[in-house]
């Protein structure tokens, strides 16, 4: 019984293992091992396209092991091996997402249409905007420039809308750029 329990927690497979042998090994995964694999899959699935879920990563990893395209080395615990397979699949999905976005941009379509924004990126963006707002609260010219850039206006349109001269606009841009670089906030200024 003790040997069976040991084989449930760490499953080792070799290069010569057939898909059937790996399937048998997969059935010996304990509940805790499977739970850890599910948690790993949930973590790895963050930031992927909205239609790719954590169970897709886990299922694809098992499918690749069972069909023989991935083999567990004899000295690697099965859980560690499966996590590595899921990382590889995630990288493949991300590569596809980038290629798709680039293709959409080349075709003139808006990249990411209909996709919900990543919550982490949204939170970081809100925090950066708040920091920028506090940084330039006492500088109305820079505040106007930021507002105009946020509205998608060109330099000429910003100057016309807020009654800024070329010198005021250029000086404000320089102050903004220097302050953002000094404080480590990443914002590109046209």
* In contact, 33 and 23? CB cutoff 8 Å: no
Closest to 101 in 3D by CA, of 174, 46, 49: 49
For residue range 28-79, list pLDDT tens digits in order: 567 778 788 888 888 888 877 777 788 888 888 888 888 888 888 888 888 8
Q: ∠140-144-146 over CA atoms, to 5°?
A: 115
Residues in the chain where the model's pLDDT stays below 50 = 1-14, 20, 109-112, 187-190
- Write out the two tokens for 42: 């949930």
Closest to 56 in 3D by CA, of 98, 97, 100, 89: 89
Instruction: Give the list of residues 6+ apart from residue 105 with CB closer than 8 angstroms, or none.
Output: 111
């Amino acid at each position: 019984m003790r040997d069976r329990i040991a084989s449930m927690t760490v499953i080792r497979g070799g290069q010569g293992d057939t898909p059937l042998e790996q399937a048998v090994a997969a059935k010996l995964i304990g509940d805790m091992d499977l739970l850890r694999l599910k948690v790993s899959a949930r973590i790895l699935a963050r930031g992927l396209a909205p239609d790719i879920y954590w169970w897709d990563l886990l299922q694809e990893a098992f499918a690749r092991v069972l069909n023989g395209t991935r083999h567990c080395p004899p000295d690697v615990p099965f859980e560690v091996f499966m996590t590595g397979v899921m990382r590889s699949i995630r990288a493949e999905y991300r590569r596809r997402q980038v290629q798709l976005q680039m293709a959409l941009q080349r075709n003139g379509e808006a990249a990411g249409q209909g996709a919900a924004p990543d919550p982490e990126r949204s939170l970081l963006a809100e925090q950066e905007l708040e920091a920028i707002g506090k940084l330039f609260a006492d500088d109305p010219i820079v505040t106007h420039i930021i507002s105009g850039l946020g509205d998608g206006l060109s330099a000429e349109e910003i100057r016309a809308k807020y009654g800024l001269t070329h010198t005021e606009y250029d000086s404000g841009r320089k102050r903004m750029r220097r302050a953002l670089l000094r404080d480590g906030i990443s914002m590109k200024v046209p």
